[in-house]
Amino acid sequence: MTNTIQILSIEKTGKESSLQKEHNNKSIKIIDGYFFSTNLDDQKFTKISKLISNDVSQTILTKENVNKVLSSYSNFNWVVEIKFLPGVTDNIATTVKEIIKDNLKSSFKSFELGSTKIILIKGRKEDITKISKNEANPLIQTINIYPFKKYLNNFKKDQFKIEKVKLPKKKYSKKEINLDISDYQLSLIGKLGIEENDKSRRGTLGLDLESLKAIRNYFSTIKRKPTDVEIETLAQTWSEHCKHKIFSAKIDDIHEGIFKKYIKGATEKIIQLRKDNFCVSLFTDNAGGIEFNKDWIICHKVETHNTPSALDPFGGAITGIVGVNRDCLGFGKGAKPIANTYAYYLADPNKNYQLYRQKNNKDPMLPANFIAKGIISGVRVGGNCSGIPTPQGNVYFDDRFAGKPLVFCGTVGIIPKKIKGKLSHKKKANPGDIILMAGGRVGKDGIHGATFSSEELDPNSPVSAVQIGDPITQKKMSDVIIRELRDENLYSSITDNGAGGLSSSIGEMAKESGGFIVNLEKVPLKYNGLYPWEIWVSESQERMTLAVPPKNVKKVTKRFNARGVEATIIGKFIKKEKAIVKYNKTEILNLDMEFLHEGYPKLNLKTSFPKIKKEKKKIIKKSSLIDKLHKLLSSPNIVSKEFIATQYDHEVQATSIIKPLQGEGRVFGNATAIKPLFDDEKSIALSQAAYPQYAETNPYDMAGCSIDTAFKNLIVSGANSKKIAILDNFCWCSSDEPDRLYQLKEAAKACYDYAVAYQTPFISGKDSMFNDFKGFDKTGKSVKISIPPTLLISSIGVVDKISHLTKITPDDGDILLVLGNTRNELQDSVYSKIIGYEKSQNPVVNSKDALRTYRNFEKANKLGIINSAIGIDLGGIGIAVTKMAIASNKGLTFDLKLKNKISVNQFLFSETQSRILVSLKKNKLPNFKKIFKASDYTIIGKCTGSNVIEFKDNKKIMRGKISDFAESYKQNIKGL
Amino acid sequence: MNVLVLSGYGINCENETLHAFEVVGFKGKIIHINDLIQNPKQLNNYQVFAVPGGFSYGDDTGSGNAMAKKIMTNLYDQLIDFSLKDKLIIGICNGCQILINLGLVPSLNKKDPEVALIENKSGSYECRWVDVKVSNNKSPWLENISTLNLPVAHQEGQFMIPINLLKSIKANNLIGLQYIDHHKKLAKGQFPFNPNGSKDDIAALTNQNGNVLAMMPHPERAFYHYHIPNWQSNTLKKFGDGYKIFMNAKKFFA
């Protein structure tokens, strides 16, 4: 009899090697442990062990062999046991349970199972502590460190224990909340949550005093007290995360708010000007949709998952990516996810920031490298396991992300325009439709996620807000929806369960029918003991809500079940505009839909011009041009991100046509393309851009640069300039301060101006307004770290023909030209940061000049005049030229005898926008000149095919070997 | 000529795999594993059984293990029967891991698996293009092919083979594909040419008849010319190297 199965690899695993290398210790071994809540007899032990292990590569530990097997590796003396805290998603355990259920049909009754990682070392206790810090997160895992002898003893005496969720068995009785209390008491409910009978608080609701007063007024009009469920629901629905109150608030003299005026306003203006069918579904659905070809629509959505990723980087990021996948599944009648995008804004992983959420070095922030690694692998597991390619992304480092990392996750989806003759992007839950919840079960995970992501990160941030995604459960659900249900038109509406859980998804869908009645006791739970309000707002992942006509319910449920997916009837949509929730027949929520969605007090915001903080000026260090290039190439924001591209499957679905690593020399590209349909040569090009480094100086120009770069990168890749759409993701800080709001207003204004100028509509967006950290440093001094305002613009465009797709590799004899003019715009450039400050400015986008360049480029490209091209961005022309040389492994000569009045440094490293580096075959020059005016381009050199890059000025020739540049460019990022 | 392409529980390359078969002339269908278990007789309607890539059961308990166990419990005899006929079986990436866990290749002593696919030596997921050479050109899948340029995308692609077994695998000529370097010489374990540290640079194994092929690289992702990295430099070809594998399947039944 035993209650544990422990398995180890006979040979050293890749993970063990990397741990050994990282910790400089040759005696590290990892054991996969499975702890059972019940004892297994010998027969069961043998059967199950065989089912979950591999005879050839692994050994199963038993009481008899454990000592002998382990001593053959080393004289281990310390052990760390890492397992999930009760209630945290344990995907491996789920799989093992399923294997047992599938293969041992007669099996045993119900049992609990937990997967455990056991690491053995020979070394000191400090060593194992250090390893455990790098391998586990105390927020979601328990970490037990003990001597090896105790481990052997545990083994012999069956003392490995799993941690079960132990919720007190409680009988629910309806809880009414008295709001006729002092303002102070009222505000405590908002900040700390509803008070339980034992005086403890449930956790932040994120409701301000004004909102609570509006709730109080509503209930005094209907002459009763609110229930806890009603207050929880209003908190979710009215959260900044769900309602975007700041974007819709009156701000200064803009009554309609900046979203309506600048973002939606831009799109409306563009639709009016364009008069075509490009824009299909904007702002109203889970993602924005545009026309791909005559039969298909593509949609795109980008989300942020910043706060969860700060607390649990892996869980936050995986939930971010599988969450945004569901936004696609919830677009129209359900779009198939066909590409993921990512963008991470992180602190320097090589630095130790030592930040604490509480005084006296308590409650530390996770180390920057732990956060970075966790985020990168979260998206890897989420994307790869879902079978969705992840071609497009980038990473940017800055100290100001030390308090909160920014994690942007995006997904592109595709859906036929019509399904059974009906427009697929239109959906409507009808009165009488059944509310069906499909996918995963509901637990305590993610409770209060929506309300707390709208707040700053401080000691009261709830840890149950953390979730871990389960991509396989979602994949199973997604396959049923896209392949089996959608095209038969078996449901009338669909949306995902993200922030706010059922309260939010059903609340939103019910707008289509009128209202809803939900029976919460029907919702399948991960474990017993949840309060109704917890079921209602839980953000447990992998769930979609469907509105199914009663006649189809049986069929739909059967299809889900046949594929191993749970689907449960939990209520129905009604015509009456009422939101009603019952729990075992007791009515616990009854609100007017109008109040639920529109009852929150509208904000009235004022802005003020911020004081510009002048940074210290750096002294210019003299170094050679070649030296500078090496320094820039190896700097974290320019260096290759190949190590991410190779761990993200970008080939699955066989659609990758412009890959993240480009040319023989594998340069990390700034745009990628997929060809989503086998029978149409059209492709989708993707890119993104943000310039947080420019934000503090001038937020208007910062936003202009983001739009310009995101647009330009698609033009350069070969997209049709009339078929480019963009998405906005504002990640701001301290959005209750007038100067931050001023910056926000300015950035939004630029969004309008540049989108309209380029005629590229915004189709979707999301904002995250409080990316601040308030806590303490190691000396106990209180600190506030705010991110620099960051506006990520994601671009999606259609490339009409395969022949329009460009490459970044020139050929021997090609002439090199820069399209667009270069100005002295070095202020907050990479050059300034790495090499030395020069008095200068930040880039200002001239949309008229830019558009001329883009239109001419497009024309020349379609005519086959362009041989290769690369967008010029960070590091300027100098870096663009070097990347071309590395990509093609072909030498270039570069002429520095400049005609205009800027210095060599300015010319090479200025980050002036709207410029493209191109190469042409010599004989195409006459045709090129027919399109481009002489003042719009500069010939700067040619491709020699040698193994060096040469820079020639009047006096001398400077040379650098391509292989040396490639080495600098491909350096590892320190700390990762 | 009909191909059955398996799906379910996280397999995710079924669409492109079916497409590749269809382009070369097969008729085919994607069938969910649960439907196949319900009605295993439908296997008789097919000449090719394809297990595509993906992440069945999220690779938990070892890539391909959980799905292999499900097949072993429910479909093993039917699948063995299939493999003993004049029919073809291919497993690609996760499909390869499933076939190896089922022991369908190399299948020298039947039933029990003798080979394992373990984590890449690098310890990380590797999505990259590699060159492989055909070692066993007796297999109908690999006939008349010398080298191929294909992508791999896996976390656990390192073939682990006990020494004695490796000897008989070689003696029986069951190594399907091996990773090679830029000079078309065996990669000798050198990264990134051999992306996972596989013993003897093995990228694919076959059974003794050669009709069952378990390969880690993805031929369906190298099907058209525009799949190949930097294809813009050579736009004359219509297909990529992966096409050859599917054409061979067609030729086998022609």
Q: Is B182 exposed, middle or buried (0-12, 13-18, 19+ CB in 10 A)?
A: exposed
Contacts of A6 in chain B (CB under 8 A): none
Of B57, B112, B127, the CB nearest to A472: B57
Is A240 a member of any domain? Answer: no
Contacts of B35 in chain A (CB under 8 A): 562
Report the pLDDT value the prediction gives residue A526, as an integer from 0 to 100. Answer: 83
> pLDDT tens across A59-70, in order?
999 999 999 999
A546-561 mean pLDDT: 97
pLDDT at residue A461 tops 50: no
Element (H, E) at A762: strand A762-768
Is A85 a member of any domain? Answer: yes
pTM: 0.94
H-assigned helices in A413-518 = 449-452, 471-479, 501-513
Q: What are phi and psi of A576, to 5 degrees?
A: -60, 140
Is A507 a member of any domain? Answer: no
Mutate to test the interface with A, among B5, B37, B60 (most CBs of A within 10 A): B60
pLDDT at residue A458 tops 90: no
**Same structural domain, A57 and A11:** yes
Structural domain span for residue A76: 2-156
Of A475, A647, A653, the CB nearest to B10: A475
Q: Which two tokens stand for residue A325?
A: 């996948």
Q: What are phi and psi of A116, to 5 degrees?
A: -135, 140
Is B218 a catalytic site residue?
A: yes
Contacts of B127 in chain A (CB under 8 A): 645-651
How does residue A447 score in pLDDT terms, banded at 50, 70 and 90?
confident
Of B13, B119, B156, B218, the active-site residue reads: B218
> pLDDT tens across A319-331, in order?
999 999 999 999 9
Is A766 a member of any domain? Answer: no
Indicate the range of A185-189, A386-390, A615-619, B136-140 predicted with least confidence: A615-619
A338-366 mean pLDDT: 94
**Same structural domain, A91 and A129:** yes
Dist CA B221 CA B202 (whole Å): 20
A719-743 mean pLDDT: 96
Is A819 a member of any domain? Answer: yes
* Signed CA dihedral, A200, A205, A209, A213: sign only: negative
How does residue A531 score in pLDDT terms, banded at 50, 70 and 90?
confident
Across the interface, do A651 and B127 touch by the CB < 8 Å criterion?
yes
Mutate to test the interface with B, among A20, A56, A94, A318 (most CBs of B within 10 A): A56
What is the residue-level pLDDT of chain B in tens, covering all 254 positions? 999 999 999 999 999 999 999 999 999 999 999 999 999 999 999 999 999 999 999 999 999 999 999 999 999 999 999 999 999 999 999 999 999 999 999 988 766 788 999 999 988 999 999 999 999 878 999 999 999 999 999 999 999 999 999 999 999 999 999 999 999 999 999 999 999 999 999 999 999 999 999 999 999 999 999 999 999 877 678 999 999 999 999 999 98
**Same structural domain, A868 and A944:** yes
Work out how many CB contacts closer than 8 A connect A with B: 172
Of B13, B156, B220, B227, the active-site residue reads: B220
A751-767 mean pLDDT: 96
A634 vs A39: which has the higher pLDDT: A634
Report the pLDDT value the prediction gives residue A922, as an integer from 0 to 100. Answer: 95
Contacts of A646 in chain B (CB under 8 A): 124-128
Average pLDDT, chain A: 91
Contacts of A482 in chain B (CB under 8 A): none
CA distances from A26 to A29, A33, A74, A117, A120 (A): 9, 22, 9, 19, 11
Across the interface, do B232 and A51 touch by the CB < 8 Å criterion?
no
CA distance from start to end of chain A: 44
Residue A918 pairs in a beta bridge with: A817, A869
- Nearest Cα residue in chain B from A647: B125
Residues in Cβ contact with A147 at an 8 Å cutoff, skipping those fewer than 6 apart: A77, A78, A79
Question: What's the CATH number where A67 sits?
Answer: 3.30.1280.10
Å between A99 CA and nearest CA of chain B: 6
The DSSP output letter for A194 is: P
Of A98, A102, A678, the CB nearest to B73: A102
The DSSP output letter for B200 is: G
pLDDT at residue A872 tops 50: yes
Which ipTM score applies to this complex? 0.97
Å between A377 CA and nearest CA of chain B: 10
A92 shares contact with chain B (CB less than 8 Å): yes
Which residues 38-57 in chain A show a CB within 8 A of chain B?
A: 51-57
What does CATH list as the number for B2-253? 3.40.50.880
> pLDDT tens across A631-658, in order?
999 999 999 999 999 999 999 999 999 9
pLDDT at residue A620 tops 80: no
Which residues 464-523 in chain A show a CB within 8 A of chain B?
A: 470-472, 475-476, 479
Indicate the residue among A169, A193, A225 that finishes a domain.
A225
Across the interface, do B125 and A384 touch by the CB < 8 Å criterion?
yes
Of B93, B154, B156, B227, the active-site residue reads: B93
Å between B43 CA and nearest CA of chain A: 19
A187-196 mean pLDDT: 89
How does residue A107 score in pLDDT terms, banded at 50, 70 and 90?
low
A97 shares contact with chain B (CB less than 8 Å): no
Domains held by chain A: number? 3
Unique residue bearing structure tokens 């990773």: B179
**Same structural domain, A869 and A955:** yes
Question: What's the CATH number where A911 sits?
Answer: 3.90.650.10
How does residue A898 score in pLDDT terms, banded at 50, 70 and 90?
confident
- Nearest Cα residue in chain A from B73: A103
A353-361 mean pLDDT: 91
Instruction: Supply the DSSP string of A661-703, one letter for each residue.
Output: EETTTTEE-SEEEE---TT---EEEEEEE--HHHHTT-HHHHH
Q: Is A106 exposed, middle or buried (0-12, 13-18, 19+ CB in 10 A)?
A: exposed
How does residue A603 score in pLDDT terms, banded at 50, 70 and 90?
confident
A143-170 mean pLDDT: 84
**Same structural domain, A904 and A950:** yes
Is A708 a member of any domain? Answer: no
Dist CA A36 CA A47 (whole Å): 14
pLDDT at residue A613 tops 70: no
Which residues 769-808 in chain A show a CB within 8 A of chain B?
A: 802-803, 805-807
**Same structural domain, A81 and A203:** no
Indicate the residue among A175, A207, A225 that finishes a domain.
A225
Report the pLDDT value the prediction gives residue B234, as an integer from 0 to 100. Answer: 73
Indicate the range of A497-506, A651-660, A804-813, A956-965 predicted with least confidence: A497-506
Is B220 a catalytic site residue?
A: yes
A560 shares contact with chain B (CB less than 8 Å): no
Which residues 736-775 in chain A show a CB within 8 A of chain B?
A: none
Report the pLDDT value the prediction gives residue A477, as an integer from 0 to 100. Answer: 95
Is A218 a member of any domain? Answer: yes
CA triple A674-B122-A654, angle to 5 deg: 20
| 3-class secondary structure, A433 | coil
Is A912 a member of any domain? Answer: yes
Of B61, B223, B227, the CB nearest to A52: B61
Indicate the range of A106-110, A295-299, A842-846, A924-928 predicted with least confidence: A106-110
Q: Which two tokens stand for residue A134?
A: 């790098």
**Same structural domain, A815 and A950:** yes
- Whats the size of chain A, residue-wise? 976
How does residue A104 score in pLDDT terms, banded at 50, 70 and 90?
confident
CA distances from A912 to A392, A397, A829, A863, A876 (A): 23, 21, 10, 27, 7
> pLDDT tens across A109-152, in order?
678 889 999 999 999 999 999 999 888 888 788 899 999 999 99
- Nearest Cα residue in chain A from B75: A103
Å between A520 CA and nearest CA of chain B: 29
- Nearest Cα residue in chain A from B117: A57
| 3-class secondary structure, A975 | coil
A504-523 mean pLDDT: 92
Å between B44 CA and nearest CA of chain A: 23
Report the pLDDT value the prediction gives residue A693, as an integer from 0 to 100. Answer: 96
Residue type present at position A344: Y
Å between A731 CA and nearest CA of chain B: 31
Report the pLDDT value the prediction gives residue A2, as an integer from 0 to 100. Answer: 87
How does residue A318 score in pLDDT terms, banded at 50, 70 and 90?
very high
Report the pLDDT value the prediction gives residue A623, as an integer from 0 to 100. Answer: 87
Q: Which two tokens stand for residue B36?
A: 């196949």
A649 shares contact with chain B (CB less than 8 Å): yes
A929-949 mean pLDDT: 95
Å between B211 CA and nearest CA of chain A: 24
Indicate the residue among A225, A248, A279 that finishes a domain.
A225
Mutate to test the interface with B, among A60, A321, A384, A870 (most CBs of B within 10 A): A384
Is B22 a catalytic site residue?
A: no
Q: Which of A205-219, A306-320, A608-622, A677-691 has the highest mean pLDDT?
A: A677-691
Which residues 379-438 in chain A show a CB within 8 A of chain B?
A: 380, 384-387
